[in-house]
Amino acid sequence: GESVGLHLPTLSVQEGDNSIINCAYSNSASDYFIWYKQESGKGPQFIIDIRSNMDKRQGQRVTVLLNKTVKHLSLQIAATQPGDSAVYFCAEKGGRGSTLGRLYFGRGTQLTVWP
């Protein structure tokens, strides 16, 4: 994506450990962020989202943290399982005037979970 990037292209964790995937964005006016999981041969699957008026949001085994001061987004996966192995993308939306409805994607992080 043009303004959304990921700090690490790959992440390997042991089953049962917690995983943290990071994402940086550059547009301070972005107002909505989404994390997607993509498995091989499939489309991106929605995991969790967060609006800019929030700092943290929790789902089932996942937590998204938003730090607007440093324009940083992270996805935390608790008790990582082999089924969590996939590419994870962050996406941002909003604050770009005429580009309403358009998502800007990071390049993705490949998460590998080993037993």
Partner 1 sequence: KAGVTQTPRYLIKTRGQQVTLSCSPISGHRSVSWYQQTPGQGLQFLFEYFSETQRNKGNFPGRFSGRQFSNSRSEMNVSTLELGDSALYLCASSPTADSNYGYTFGSGTRLTVV
Q: For the beta carbon of residue 34, count every other beta carbon within 10 angstroms.
A: 19
**What three-state secondary structure class fits 47?**
strand
Pick the closer one to partner 1 by CB: 78 or 95.
95
Nearer to partner 1, 16 or 107 (CB): 107
In angstroms, give the least distance from the CB of 17 to partner 1. 27
In the complex with partner 1, the residue whose CB is nearer, 45 or 112, is 45
Residue 90 in contact with residue 99, Cβ under 8 Å?
A: no
**Residue closer to partner 1 (CB basis): 77 or 108:** 108
Vertex 105, ends 83 and 18: CA angle to 5°? 35
Sign of the C-alpha dihedral computed for residues 68, 72, 73 and 79 taken in this order = negative
Residue 43 C-beta: closest distance to partner 1, Å: 4
Binding residues for partner 1, rule: CB under 8 A, are 1, 31-32, 34, 36, 42-46, 49, 51, 89, 91, 93-94, 98-108
Q: How far is the CB of 41 from partner 1 (least distance, A)?
A: 8
Cβ–Cβ under 8 Å, residues 78 and 11: no
